[in-house]
Chains A and B, each alone.
Chain A
Amino acid sequence: MSPIDPVLLFFILGLTAGLLRSELRMPAAVYDLVSMLLLLTIGLKGGVELARQPFADLALQAVAVVAMGLLLPLVAFPVLRYLGRLPRADAASIAAHYGSVSVATYAVAVAYFTRQQVPYEAHMPFLLALLEIPAIVVGVLLARGISRDMRIGVVAHEVFLGKSIVLLIGGLFIGWAAGSDGLAPVKPLFFDLFKGVLALFLLEMGIITASQFGSLRKCGPFLLVFGIAMPLFSSVVGMLLGYALGLSPGGVAMLAILAASASYIAVPAAMRISVPQANPTLSLAASLGVTFPFNVLVGIPLYHAMTVRFLGSG
């Protein structure tokens, strides 16, 4: 087995092509399709497993994970505001990005765990979907001192009916309703092609990430440091929570990865509408330009190793 997962090589190819200003681009409609397939696949996989879980366990995990989603932006905000000296709206918006999750990072983690043959709770996508939302609410509230004319209905629509939430929850529901056997006819498209779809997706993600580097240079070193330090901190929070919830070792590592990931789809869209003062360039430079490549290339194996060591010593 080669030491590096081929899907990561696709990411590095996209990154390199972007940095060299190649004219390589994935058509927007293809990117849409590929990201839809990923979201649905992840939802379906989780949904199948959801039906087998006892409700009480799920409810406890759900509450704990939502609490973590509320807590992480509250930790990030003062750091950004006072250490980073960022304007309130920007600090709130970036904090929301880091409290929420990145489905792409989760998808890479799924590929990594499959390769390493590490089992984990298969209903993890349920927790993933839950983690998307609370940080957005906290971010909007943190910024609200300067945005009183906010249209709550519009924000709620953006948060709950955004593309990624609808596809993820929809996939969970379909998987739950259809069950493993029911999904057999669509398995070739969603499950068998998962790695290939992920590879294409990461190719484009590499190009998009490279396009963030330019704005990152203008933002200064603080966001660079924050973009690495924050996920390291969050991963420890996620790991401790997973341990407290009694998840399997793979599940604990997965929750660490979820906590460490930063959103770049659901949160930017919601923040753009609800906190217009926040500069989207800053938050995307941090979450896409720093944290996403860090997590995908270094973070996932790191958090996994950290969890193994923690559980080994405990």
Chain B
Amino acid sequence: MTGTPRKLLTIVTEAALEGLLVKDFESLGARGYTITDARGKGSRGRRDAAWDENRNIRIEILCDAVVAEAIARHLEATYYEHYGMVLYVGEVLVRRAEKF
């Protein structure tokens, strides 16, 4: 497949942060995001999404390298210390590159 290279930023974190993060993404230049409910296990134990305080979300953002770097730095500085958060970046090819 042909396409334009973009970064796919994936963040898994506590659902409680959703409202704050969404605002951060927009101010840091992300043009869109996708949020799904998530379950799993990590260094902070099992998160089974059974009720509000135990819910996780997975956020995916397609953006260019500059925005991805800005978001990653901001999240690291703001939330890593006190919240459960995992972040990883992948290279992907997109069509309609002007959207991202």
Contacts and interface: CB of A to CB of B under 8 A. Distances in A.
Interface of A: 25-26, 28, 31, 151, 154, 157-158, 163, 204, 207-208, 211, 264-265, 268-269, 272-273, 276-277, 280, 284
B51 A31 contact: yes
A277 B16 CA distance: 14
A208 B16 contact: no
B49 A28 contact: yes
Contacts of B79: 276
Interface residues of B, number: 17
A contact face: mostly helix, strand, loop, or mixed: helix
Contact of A284 (B19, B53, B55, B81): B53
Contact of A154 (B20, B49, B51): B20
Contact of A272 (B16, B51, B81): B16
Given A31-B50, A272-B14, A284-B53, 5 more contacts: A28-B51, A163-B52, A208-B51, A268-B52, A273-B16
Given A157-B19, A272-B16, A273-B20, A25 B82 contact: no
Contact of B82 (A28, A207, A276): A276
A151 B19 CA distance: 12
Contacts of B53: 264, 268-269, 272, 280, 284
Contacts of A163: 52
A26 B51 CA distance: 9
A155 to B, nearest CB: 11
B89 to A, nearest CB: 24
